[in-house]
Amino acid sequence: MRISRVRLFVLRQSLLHSFETSSHRKSGIEHILVELTDADGRTGWGEIASPSDPYFGAETTATAWEIATRYLLPAVLGREFDRPEQLEEGWSRIRGHEFAKAGFSGAVWDLYARATGVALASALGGDRDEVVAGVSLGIEPSIDDLLRQVDVQRAAGYGRVKLKIAPGWDVEPVHAVRGAHPDLDLHVDANGAYSDDEESAGVFARLDREGLTMIEQPFAPRDLVSHAALQARIGTDVCLDESIVALGDLQTMLRLRAGRVLNIKVSRMGGLSVARAAHDIAVDAGMPVWCGGMHEFGIGRAANVAISSLPGFLLPSDVSGSDKYYASDIIDPPIVAVDGRVRVPRSTGIGHEVLVESIERGASRSFDSAGARASEQEPTPVGLRRE
């Protein structure tokens, strides 16, 4: 196969319900979509799911656009490849920028799966027909508001709920949710908001008594020593997210015993190939994994469903139905969860039709390697309706 054309689109969608973490609140999501076309006219799609602001990590939509157009596009355009890993070698010299790489990786894998006539899940080695989905809830204005949101998601069939926490919004809301839902698979995510001090030690000691499935990323990404110390003194599993970017980070986590659970985010780790390798290392170490999300649109969400079909994904993943976040999606059919489970497509590629015209109409910025055309325009306010 040979890549003959690359197109990029910046697309924004409004969230149905605003979402707050320990760092900021957002009401909409802006991602970059990647379309790769091969010499035979087949296309593959990927999603650069970097946040717009540098709070989760250093990458933003703006930096991802620069890396994509200036470095990644030349690395793939005109390249011959038989396997996705071969094409990914073309950008191996680029340090960092995992979100940008992940968007291209997803498109390469989708194209490869379509060209070989298999589902993306099968191409990755997945063997499940469905995956268990969980939902993530942000910080709400009040505990009553949070409880209402939990009730809504439980009524929708989700058995696992993750709560975002931050200093001042931790023990009380968690205790309230646990009291209202004693049988709920419940875990918390701090996004690195805490310091390893006496006050935080008291918070985590109290959370340790709430029967949580895990406490995710309590400390800063590089502070694996503090994570190891916390894991040694509490019974609840510590899960790492932002700390694990490269496979070497995972090896360090295992060596230090800095946690017992791994959140594999395809975007954070630079794509499907690296995510699959992390899964294999974790399986060999006896560590359960799950797939985290970045509020992906349908393209990135479909890739997450595919990787979640691998056997080591033993915990519910952030692959909830698109309708939880968006009024409509850019794939058909949209991703749907029934009783907290999402079907793994068995048709070729990501298993969904990409609504190209809706993307073209709604994009605020685009790039086309055919003639190296770049454009910026006011997006058509169509709400990305399904056609």
Same domain, 155 and 278: yes
Residue 178: name the closest of 198, 157, 219, 206 by CA: 206
Confidence of residue 55 (pLDDT cuts 50, 70, 90): confident
Q: How far is CA 169 from CA 50, 207, 213, 239, 362, in A?
A: 26, 12, 18, 19, 37
Residue 23 clears pLDDT 70, i.e. is over it: no
Of residues 51 and 204, which shows the higher confidence score? Answer: 204
Question: Is residue 382, in this structure, part of any structural domain at all?
Answer: no
Residue 329 clears pLDDT 70, i.e. is over it: yes
Mean pLDDT value of segment 240-264:
98
Mean pLDDT value of segment 369-384:
56
Question: Is residue 318, in this structure, part of any structural domain at all?
Answer: yes
In angstroms, rounded to a whole number, what is the distance separating the alpha carbons of residues 261 and 32? 29
Task: Give tens-digit pLDDT for 133-183.
Answer: 999 999 999 999 999 999 999 999 999 999 999 999 999 999 999 999 999
Same domain, 139 and 210: yes
Domain residues for 180? 123-343
Residues 6+ apart with CB under 8 A from 114: 42, 43, 44, 348, 349
Question: Is residue 36, in this structure, part of any structural domain at all?
Answer: yes
Assign residue 91 the CATH number of its domain: 3.30.390.10
**Per-residue pLDDT, 52:** 86
Q: Do residues 182 and 203 make contact, with C-beta atoms less than 8 angstroms apart?
A: no
Residue 363 clears pLDDT 80, i.e. is over it: yes
The letter for the amino acid at 89 is E
**Per-residue pLDDT, 322:** 87
Same domain, 93 and 146: no
Same domain, 127 and 150: yes
Angle between helices 171-180 and 198-207 (to 10 degrees): 0
Residue 50 clears pLDDT 80, i.e. is over it: yes
In angstroms, rounded to a whole number, what is the distance separating the alpha carbons of residues 303 and 317? 12
Question: Is residue 384, in this structure, part of any structural domain at all?
Answer: no
Supply 228's token pair.
């190891």
Same domain, 214 and 292: yes
**Per-residue pLDDT, 107:** 98
In angstroms, rounded to a whole number, what is the distance separating the alpha carbons of residues 35 and 137? 31
Supply 296's token pair.
């992906």
Question: Is residue 383, in this structure, part of any structural domain at all?
Answer: no
**Per-residue pLDDT, 24:** 66
Does residue 265 have an active-site annotation?
yes
Same domain, 256 and 109: no
Same domain, 77 and 144: no
Assign residue 270 the CATH number of its domain: 3.20.20.120
Same domain, 113 and 232: no
Question: Is residue 349, in this structure, part of any structural domain at all?
Answer: no
In angstroms, rounded to a whole number, what is the distance separating the alpha carbons of residues 199 and 16? 35
Same domain, 162 and 231: yes
What is the overall mean pLDDT for the chain?
93
Does residue 164 have an active-site annotation?
yes
Residue 223's H or E segment, with its range, is: none
Question: Is residue 385, in this structure, part of any structural domain at all?
Answer: no
Same domain, 174 and 291: yes
Confidence of residue 383 (pLDDT cuts 50, 70, 90): very low
Residue 28 clears pLDDT 90, i.e. is over it: no
Residue 120 clears pLDDT 60, i.e. is over it: yes
Give the number of domains in the chain. Answer: 2
Q: Which of these is catalytic: 26, 101, 162, 265? A: 265
Supply 147's token pair.
């409880």
Question: Is residue 25, in this structure, part of any structural domain at all?
Answer: yes
In angstroms, rounded to a whole number, what is the distance separating the alpha carbons of residues 37 and 8? 12
Confidence of residue 373 (pLDDT cuts 50, 70, 90): low
What predicted TM-score, i.e. pTM, was given to this entire model? Answer: 0.92
Same domain, 113 and 230: no
What spatial distance separates the first Cα and last Cα of the chain, rounded to whole Å? 31
Mean pLDDT value of segment 25-47:
93
Residue 381 clears pLDDT 80, i.e. is over it: no
In angstroms, rounded to a whole number, what is the distance separating the alpha carbons of residues 172 and 161? 16
Q: Do residues 239 and 212 make contact, with C-beta atoms less than 8 angstroms apart?
A: no
Residue 190 clears pLDDT 80, i.e. is over it: yes
Supply 306's token pair.
């595919």
Same domain, 109 and 155: no
Q: How far is CA 190 from CA 55, 127, 221, 238, 241, in A?
A: 13, 32, 11, 11, 10
